[in-house]
Amino acid sequence: MNKHLTEHLRYGSPSAIPEIESRSTIDTLLSHQSCRAFSDKPIADDIKRLLFAAGQSAPSKSNLQQYSLVDVCSSSIRTELIQMFPSIRWALEAPMLIFIIGDTHRTQEINRARNHTFQWEQTDAFLNAAVDASLALAFMIAAAEGLGIGTCPVSKVRESSDAITKLLKLPKGAFPICACVFGYPQKETQSISPRLPQSVVVHQDTYQPIDFSEIDQYDEIFNRVTGPPKPRYAEKFGEPQQSTWSDNVARQTAVLERPDFKEMCERQGLFRK
């Protein structure tokens, strides 16, 4: 893909991204697009090992490496997952299905084995593990897409986080963050979703007030590039006059989602009741 076209698609309009001699990694990142339709071609074991190595190459808080990756190959486990989440069957049947786990269990076991008492504040410990795991996932996604493998993170699995915890036999101190699917795309090009302009996301020195004219402009760009999004929770809020990204943000965050996640974290020993 032409590099100038890539820059245009990432922000929905021409942007000042500097030229550098080698851009292969940058081009891969700027061309990211979620893939939801995979061919039947399997991902070879050596490629899997390469992707796991890429994930483990991510930065980690104090090199604690507080994450685990569960590679779900079992057909029986996949069948149970499909029964739990029939609407994402396309993901649960992907060639490679990985669950991304925040993992303070291993840290606590090492702590105990070396005759110490785990003393970290629970919220900080939870955040450290979640960030470590998220960085590992990002590195895996970048590596996969650099090899022509499509990816799509799936957060829907947290809607039944307690069931996922039991199904994957996660020990105390480990918790599911999301799943991510990998596979060779059925078609070469997917649509690249425009992102918010840097003027909204990047703040100079201090946090700046939101300029809603830029949000409105982004809504227009998003709809022009991808078409109006499907309205979220239309059964609760009705059909909007015009569906937009910002309207969907407001709708989705006006509904309590995943109410059992905090309870699961308490049962897993991550937060005190």
pLDDT tens, residue by residue, 199-246: 999 999 999 999 999 999 999 999 999 999 999 999 999 999 999 999
* Predicted model pTM: 0.88
Indicate the domain borders of the chain: 33-190+258-267, 198-252
What per-residue string of b and e applies to 219-249 under the rule 16 or more CB within 10 Å gives b? Answer: bebbbeeeebeebbeeeeeeeeeebbbebbe
pLDDT tens, residue by residue, 107-147: 999 999 999 999 998 899 999 999 999 999 999 999 999 99
CA distance 240 to 232: 10
- Find how far residue 185's CA is from the centre of its chain: 18
Query: Which CATH superfamily includes the segment(s) 33-190+258-267?
Result: NADH Oxidase (3.40.109.10)
φ, ψ of residue 6 in degrees (nearest 5): -60, -45
